[in-house]
Structures are given as structure tokens and as C-alpha cells.
Amino acid sequence: MPVHQADERQDSHVASASKQSLRVALLGCGVVGSAVARLLTEHAEDLAARVGRPLEIVGVAVRRAGRDRSETGVDASLFTTDAEDLVTRADVVVEVIGGIEPARSLLLRAMAHGASVVTANKALLAEDGPTLYAAAAEHGVDLYYEAAVAGAIPLLRPLRESLAGDDVRRVLGIVNGTTNYVLDKMDTTGAGFSDAVEQAQALGYAEADPTADVEGFDAAAKAAILASLAFHTRVASTDVYREGITEVTAADVAAAREMDSVVKLLAICERTDKGVSVRVHPAMIPRTHPLAGVREAFNAVFVEAVAAGELMFYGKGAGGDPTASAVLGDLVAVARHRVAGGLGPGESSYADLPVLDVGQALTRYHISLEIEDRSGVLAKVAAAFADNDVSIETVRQQLVPATEDGGGGGAILIIVTHTATDAALSATVEVLRTLDVVRGVNSVMRVEGS
Ligand code: HSE
């Protein structure tokens, strides 16, 4: 850097340092909170220069006092268990505790005392976002939450701001790293679900209790937030159709591989002429689809907008530093508003579109059946599809040799459908289960992305 530029930079640091600090309160000092505190301390001068005023940590609320948190660089005297008091003493409150309470009460209290809020709390936003937005509007403060969905990946600001002039039709993403890691291991090693979860736990990708991830609750909360922003419509986590990955078997993953596809847990938010459809479930996608190449614990989100066309966002969806990057980006944004005046965008729910039942979603199914091998079987199976107005795209039959004890002797039938409503497809499967020529329905999986 030329000497005069370095001098100017130094001057601007000195100038911003001499200005009154913006008071930052941090709620939570776990993996993300400690990374936020450390990066805020390490990069204090640059952040002050970017904001125009220094950011001063006035307190860090923790559940248990007295632990050694020196790695954060924050003075030990600033750690407190009195979060209620702390939020009344700040210009910006950063919340990384998670969960509904006490986070909601603390953020409402912070806003009532005039603080802007930066939060990574997807569960709270997906359950009660409108209450937070209303409080932000009432008190004239900012509410930013980039870190709540897909960690480090800049995704909410593009939806909220960069694409605010476009017409978003679809958001299709892998927004949970734990399940992506598990499904990736099942695909690459042939492992079953439980073994893959154990590997993920051993490496720290999955929690000791992985329910929120493997049952799709985490992804459903993120899908609700994405759909709300994309479609200017309130969508809560309870509006999201949710299926996790606990029922995905090694045989499903192998069947996907035979179709040159891969199984992913997808969050799918779509706008149709009837309303919006928001769902989280495992699905097969072709290996040629950009989301199929998203390996291990990475996240990626595909956005389709009328004018922009197809966009893809990719990166780390979890972890201390990656999530802290998104938190700090929000902190700089709201701090800049404090310095320059004005506010970022508030809630945009003017479109108020109906949220459709999953039965109205359009999708395709991959169905594996064990059937009798005799005349008229295919006709009966085909009739179940025709009667429900579901068109078959491909059929593949594999004979199962008879065993000496009289077992086997049937066939495996793999059917992939054309697009139909989920209701029609699921009604078809119900009929198949009742047919005397069908010995069993081995697996049913949605097919997306082609
Ligand atoms: N548990 C989440 C995941 C990260 O596995 O992606 C936090 O949302």
C-alpha cells in the first residue's frame, strides 16, 4: 500500500476512534457468540473505519459467569448474567442464544429501549417474526438476521434488497449441513442412516441429539424465512410441510444412484398462480443439477427470479466464524444506519398470498414396488396411476429369481412419474399398497430438479 494511503487509513482510524462509540451488547457466548466477540475485538479498528464510529462491547450476557472466556479478547468484567439489564444499555443488541425464550422477551425489551437488533435466531423468526418486525417498526429500529439462514452465505440480503425489484418464483436449497453430510456419506460409502449419523456426530457435524436437523425442523424454519422474504408473504414454520431424512435407507440412496441421481434434503419454496408452496423433504435430484454437487456439510440455495433468471448461492451454513461473518455484516449495516440515519427494510408481507397445502404441490415420484410376476400385473399397476390421473414417465422391471424354499419369484418394478400433484401421487401409492399383485411398496421418494 502506498505510504500516503496507509497514512490516510491510519488517520481515518484515529478519526473514528475519537468519535463516540456505538454500544454493542452481545447475548450468548457459545460457538457463534465467542467468534463474534473475538472478531469484533480483533478487527475493531477496521470495523470502526467502516462504520464511521467505534463499536464498543458494553457487555456479553452468559448463562454461567466465571468461565475463562479470554479467547474472546473481551474484558472479564464485561460478562454478565443480567441480560435484561444489558439490553437497556446498548445501541445494537446481537442475539446468538437461540430458542424462543428468553430470546424473544430480550429482543422486544431491547427494541423498546431503542436498540437495533441483529439476530441469528431462525426458530424465533420463523415462529414469531411478525411480532419482532412490529416492534422494530414501532420503535424505529433495525431488525437484521442474515445469519439465521445458511450461515455465512449472503442470501437474505439478496432476497430482501438485491432482488426487491424482481419477481422471485422459486427458492430451492440445501439449508441444513448436518443432513447434507449424512446423505453425502450414505451416497459415497453406502452406509445406512444410523451409521452415517454416528460418523457425523464423531466429527462434530451432528449434535448428540440430532432431532432438529434429521427431522427437518431446522430446515423448515429456514424455509419459512426464505419464503416470507421471497414472496412478500408471512410464512411460519408451522406452514411448512416437513419430512426429515430418518426414513431414507441405503436402498433409496442406491436406487437414486442407479438413476444417476443423489438424495438431498431440500427446502422448496415455490410461487404458483394459486399461492405459495413451502416444503422440506428428501428428494432425488439428477447428478447434473448444481445442487447435487454440494458435498459434506455445505449449504447451497438456488433462486429463480423472472428477470434475473437462475442464481446460486453456496458456502458454509454453520460454524462459529462463518456464522459470525454474517452477524458482523449485519452489525456493520445497522451501525452504519445509526451513524448516517435511516433504517434498513422492514417486513414486506403486502402480497399476503395463501400458503398451499402440500397436496397441491407439483412434484414427481420415484416408486419401487415388489410385485408378482404373472400376466395382468402391469395392467393393474398402470391402472392405479391412470385412475389418479398420474402419467408414468419410465418403468423398469427386474426379475427376482425364485429360491429353493419357494420365496422370491416376483419382480421389482421401478416407476418414475411425470409431474402431478402430491395429492394425486400419494393417492396412487395408497391404491398400490392395496393391490393383491403388489407384494410391497419398497420406497417412495420425490424427484426434483429436472
Ligand atoms: N444445524 C444446522 C446445520 C446449522 O446442520 O446446518 C445451524 O442452523
Interval 145-161: pLDDT, tens? 999 999 999 999 999 99
Grid cell, residue 19, equals: 468519535
Percent of the chain with pLDDT over 70: 96
Q: What distance in angstroms lies between residue 222's CA and the mean position of ligand 1's atoms?
A: 10
How high is the pLDDT of residue 5?
47
Closest CA to 75 of 97, 94, 56, 88: 56
Q: Is 218 in the pocket of ligand 1 (CB under 6 A)?
A: yes
Q: Is 119 in the pocket of ligand 1 (CB under 6 A)?
A: no
Grid cell, residue 216, equals: 427437518
For a ligand 1 pocket test, name from 96, 174, 176 the mutation site with the most ligand atoms within 8 angstroms of its C-beta: 176
Closest approach atom of ligand 1 to CA 299: 6
How high is the pLDDT of residue 408?
67
CA angle 444, 445, 446 (to 5 degrees): 135
Q: Is 126 in the pocket of ligand 1 (CB under 6 A)?
A: no
Q: What is the DSSP string of 68-107?
A: --GGG---GGGEES-HHHHGGG-SEEEE---SSTTHHHHH
The residue annotated as part of the active site, out of 222, 264, 274, 380, is 222
CA distances from 373 to 377, 383, 424, 436, 439 (A): 7, 17, 26, 12, 10
* 438 neighbors 368 (Cβ within 8 angstroms): no
| Mean predicted confidence (pLDDT) in 366-375 | 95
Give the pTM. Answer: 0.94
Closest CA to 156 of 283, 344, 12, 339: 344
Q: In this predicted model, what pLDDT tens digit does every residue of 190-216 receive, in sequence order?
A: 999 999 999 999 998 899 999 999 999
Q: Is 177 in the pocket of ligand 1 (CB under 6 A)?
A: yes
| Mean predicted confidence (pLDDT) in 110-127 | 98
How high is the pLDDT of residue 403?
80
Q: Is 197 in the pocket of ligand 1 (CB under 6 A)?
A: no
pLDDT of 450 strictly over 90: no
- How many CA atoms does the CB half-sphere of 60 hold within 13 Å? 30
Task: Give the Cα separation of 145 and 329 in Å (integer).
Answer: 10
Q: 185 catalytic, yes or no?
A: no
Q: Please, what is the average pLDDT of the chain?
A: 94
Q: In this predicted model, what pLDDT tens digit does every residue of 30-64 receive, in sequence order?
A: 999 999 999 999 999 999 999 999 999 999 999 99
The SS3 assignment for 420 reads strand
Task: Give the Cα separation of 424 and 431 in Å (integer).
Answer: 11
Tell me the domains of the chain and their CATH numbers.
3-151+323-340 (3.40.50.720), 156-313 (3.30.360.10), 358-447 (3.30.70.260)
Q: Is 180 in the pocket of ligand 1 (CB under 6 A)?
A: no
Q: What distance in angstroms lies between residue 39's CA and the mean position of ligand 1's atoms?
A: 21
Q: What distance in angstroms lies between residue 176's CA and the mean position of ligand 1's atoms?
A: 5
How high is the pLDDT of residue 18?
54
Taking the CB of residue 157, how many other CB atoms lie within 10 A of it? 18
